[in-house]
């Protein structure tokens, strides 16, 4: 009897240790994959912008009549005259030391330019991501739980239109209609030209300028959350455990809140975390349309220059944010969903 109990305890202990080892191994593989991906991005980041056909020296001086010696002097100043392998080695060394270089356009440190544009992007894209997540998941839950209802049909048609709509096109339409024709909202920028003021007046001016670009991003991204959540919840409705929960006498609202929705949310975690990564990268087209001084517009201006250090710095930041956010989403799925660990 005692031997049997001892054997059962040892078996449970061994099973628990095996599960812990499997979880640690899975997490290690995912972290290592993210590090390798980030390094590949770092290498590709350097060569990607070197294939641009534009000549940085001519674009910086806006002078196409420069002599060969003048172009060589400008290239030496910015380190562009060095052999490509040496440029690449200098880029790696500086990046690992936290030095993203100096902008070709205004000669300011790239890290300073990024820090100045980071807050506007977090404000705009972070606010729209929060709103689109809450509204989109709610629409998906209500539509999926009442599949085929009038709300489900109308909301699905609406979000499908939004999903197929380019954000820059929607931004231009709203800009023409609400900022041009009706003149309800400003046509761009983050503050008024006359000054934002301070206190409540400054906050009101900021929110006034934030409304249109935030509305565009919210409408575009809530479609993703709604469609994914609806599809996931419909799949869960076919599960046997919901029939068991109802057979035990649980009300439909409890079955939905305690059983169906938590399991249906699992596929949405990766999408939510991935879009949180894009909070840092911003929305280049939307920020450009509305002249919002964030990282997206900074990238657009740098691309037109072309400003290699700024492009490399912003692209590296964007890629790192998406990789880290995706890694966090994978880790959360691994921890909360045993099926992922067993796969």
Residues 63-113 pLDDT 10s: 556 666 766 676 666 666 677 788 888 888 888 888 888 887 777 888 899
Closest CA to 317 of 38, 90, 48: 38
- Whether 272 shows a pLDDT value over 80: the answer reads no
Q: What is the mean pLDDT of residues 312-339?
A: 78
- Closest alpha carbon to 213 in 184, 194, 189, 193: 189
pLDDT tier at 38 (50, 70, 90 boundaries)?
Answer: confident
pLDDT digit string, tens, across residues 229-250 = 888 888 887 777 777 777 777 7
Task: Decide which of 29 and 343 is more confident.
Answer: 29
Three-class SS of residue 21? helix
How sure is the predictor about 2, in pLDDT bands with cuts at 50, 70 and 90? very low
Q: How far apart, in whole angstroms, are the C-alpha atoms of residue 7 and residue 5?
A: 5
113-342 topology per CATH: MetI-like fold (1.10.3720)
**Residue 11 above 60 pLDDT?**
no
Q: Domain coordinates of the chain in residue numbers?
A: 113-342
For the ranges 5-9, 49-53, 216-220, 247-251, which has the lowest average pLDDT?
Answer: 5-9
Stretch 111-139: mean pLDDT, rounded? Answer: 90
Sign of CA dihedral 71, 77, 83, 87: negative
pLDDT on residue 135: 93
């Amino acid at each position: 009897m005692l031997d049997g109990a001892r054997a059962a305890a040892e078996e449970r202990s061994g099973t628990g240790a095996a599960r812990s080892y499997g979880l640690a191994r899975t997490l290690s593989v995912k972290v290592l994959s993210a590090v390798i991906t980030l390094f590949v991005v770092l290498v590709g980041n350097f060569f990607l912008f070197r294939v641009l056909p534009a000549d940085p020296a001519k674009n910086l001086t806006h002078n196409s009549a420069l002599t060969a010696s003048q172009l060589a002097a400008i290239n030496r100043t910015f380190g562009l005259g060095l052999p490509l392998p040496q440029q690449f080695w200098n880029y790696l060394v500086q990046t690992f030391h936290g030095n993203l270089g100096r902008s070709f356009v205004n000669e300011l440190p790239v890290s300073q330019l990024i820090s100045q544009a980071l807050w506007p992007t977090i404000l705009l894209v972070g606010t729209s991501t929060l709103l689109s997540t809450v509204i989109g998941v709610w629409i998906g839950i209500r539509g999926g739980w009442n599949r085929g209802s009038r709300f489900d049909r109308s909301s699905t048609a609406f979000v499908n239109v939004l999903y197929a709509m380019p954000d820059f096109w929607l931004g231009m339409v709203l800009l023409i209609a609400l900022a041009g024709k009706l003149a309800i909202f400003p046509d761009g920028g983050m503050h008024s030209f006359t000054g934002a003021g301070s206190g409540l007046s400054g906050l009101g001016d900021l929110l006034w300028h934030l409304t249109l670009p935030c509305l565009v991003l919210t409408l575009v991204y809530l479609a993703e959350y709604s469609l994914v959540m609806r599809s996931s919840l419909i799949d869960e409705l076919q599960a046997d455990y919901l029939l068991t929960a109802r057979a035990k006498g649980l009300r439909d609202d409890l079955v939905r809140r305690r059983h169906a929705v938590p399991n249906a949310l699992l596929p949405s975690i990766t999408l939510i975390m991935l879009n949180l990564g894009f909070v840092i990268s911003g929305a280049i087209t939307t920020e450009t349309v509305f002249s919002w001084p964030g990282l997206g517009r900074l990238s657009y201006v740098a691309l037109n220059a072309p400003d290699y250090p700024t492009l490399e710095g912003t692209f590296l930041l964007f890629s790192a944010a998406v990789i880290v956010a995706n890694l966090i989403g994978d880790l959360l799925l691994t921890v909360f969903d045993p099926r992922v660990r067993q796969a």
